[in-house]
Copies of this chain bind each other. A is one copy, B any other.
Amino acid sequence: MSARLINALATTGPLAELFSDGCVLQAMLDFEVALARAEARAGVIPQTAADAIASAARPDAFNTAKLAHDTFRAGTPGIPFAKALTEVVRSKDASAAGFVHWGATSQDVADTALVLLLKRAQPILTEDLTRCERSLERLSEQYKETTMLGRTLLQAGPPVTFGLKAAGWLGAIRRGAERLDAAFESALVLQFGGANGTLASLGENGPAVAQALADELGLQLPEAPWHTQRDRLASLVCSCGVLTGSLGKMARDISLLMQKEVAEAAEPGGDGRGGSSSMPHKQNPIACSLALAAAHRIPGLVASFLSTMVQEHERAVGGWQAEWPIVSQIIQATGVATASMAEVAEGISVNPERMRANIEATSGTIFAERAATLLAAKLGRNRAQELVKDAVRKSNKERRHLTEVLAEMPEVASHMDSETLRELEVPEKYLGSADGFRKALLVNRKRSGKKER
């Protein structure tokens, strides 16, 4: 009984697969097999039992629908899963059955399974992030001299370059990716504490088994179990939230640039993207809308996770039980945003002519600040601003260029030579540190290297 349709916009193919019953079950099996091996290595259980468990631990031996139902009844996947695995092992090797899940508690297998899934999620997210970052770097270089309107509160302002804009997106996404990496590194730790977090039933063997188990699974061993200390996971979901916020900002910008009336950029179509059932002429910002949808959903999901952190004593009543859906949805939402904006960054079409035309359409009024600054040096700021405001008003009213209007004002003309006036509305002449900032954002990228990503 799949629920792909209702969640179709909230996940990607690879991540839906990752959190599917088969993968969740496999991750729990991986824990139990590794546990048995670790315990056999430490002499806690017979090697033959470990072998029997390993050979019996096949996903197809389980009825996941029944497991889901029993999980709901038990309030945790660990109990019915361990029972079911015990039965599977028993049917093949009765003596080994008693050693299944030895010394572990239900939360050990559930938490470690989640961590194993997160470990597999990381490269999926990283690959799309890398695609996105590389494309933004390329775009930033390609359009480093392409001027466009700066826009503040959705109003036209002095020019920026599309190269700077792309570098700004890149900077935030790259910082977000670095935080995400760090959070993954910290969160990918084994959970293994037994009934109450002391591994008491393993006596002296606890540390050895724990280390061997971590090694088997390729996870770090934390200082101690963390059944009710969820800060590492919290930090991971927060880093997803911050990154998706930055991806959402990029998506918002591009969806605004795609407006018919602006038309400065467009996300790529193709492969089912962009159409409308009733309006054949439209090119919709579909990928952007999915990233924005993710950015709408994630803040609440992060809040849900943070509110579960207040977990009671050695094992929680309610807080922990809320985590699986939250974490898996956050990872999937982050994946949607990442994949969508990678696709957009790779395929975006940029329209420099239209950017130029939209600047032109302001009749130079966006250079009012520039004019005022130039005049202020001569006339003082107050007088300069008065004059320029008058000029802007006239320019708007008469639909003439600001330069023309200014040139006709004697007080202006006497303090601004004709060359200055001629250059006043040249966007390239009023970019300040745009390219310096752009380069700094890109250099930083290169400095941080991270070739392995």
Contact = CB atoms under 8 A, between A and B. Distances in A.
A152 B196 contact: yes
Number of copies: 4
Contacts of A241: 234, 238, 302, 306
Contact of A382 (B67, B98, B277, B369): B98
A372 B281 CA distance: 11
A410 B306 CA distance: 51
Contacts of A321: 9, 289-290, 292-293
A152 B256 contact: no
Interface string A223-239: 11110111110110011
A448 to B, nearest CB: 11
Contacts of A70: 272
Given A198-B150, A198-B164, A281 B440 contact: no
A310 B248 contact: yes
A106 B176 contact: no
A157 B280 contact: no
Contacts of A253: 312-313
Most central of A98, A306, A315 by chain B CB within 10 Å? A306
Contacts of A156: 260, 282
A interface: dominant SS: helix
Given A261-B262, A285-B317, A293-B321, 14 more contacts: A1-B16, A9-B321, A10-B322, A79-B276, A98-B381, A150-B197, A152-B276, A154-B256, A155-B284, A179-B235, A198-B437, A206-B432, A241-B306, A260-B361
A314 B160 contact: yes
Given A280-B369, A280-B388, A231 B172 contact: yes
Nearest to A11: B72
A303 interface: yes
A352 interface: no
B232 A290 contact: no
B297 A299 contact: no
Contact of A3 (B20, B75, B150): B20
Interface stretch (A35-43, A50-58, A129-137, A324-332): A324-332
Contact of A271 (B73, B105, B186): B73
A230 to B, nearest CB: 7
A316 B136 CA distance: 22
Contacts of A286: 73-75, 153
A1 B276 CA distance: 28
Contact of A302 (B232, B302, B308, B358): B302
A6 B172 contact: no
A422 interface: no
Contacts of A388: 280
Contacts of A248: 309-310, 318
Contact of A252 (B1, B310, B322): B310
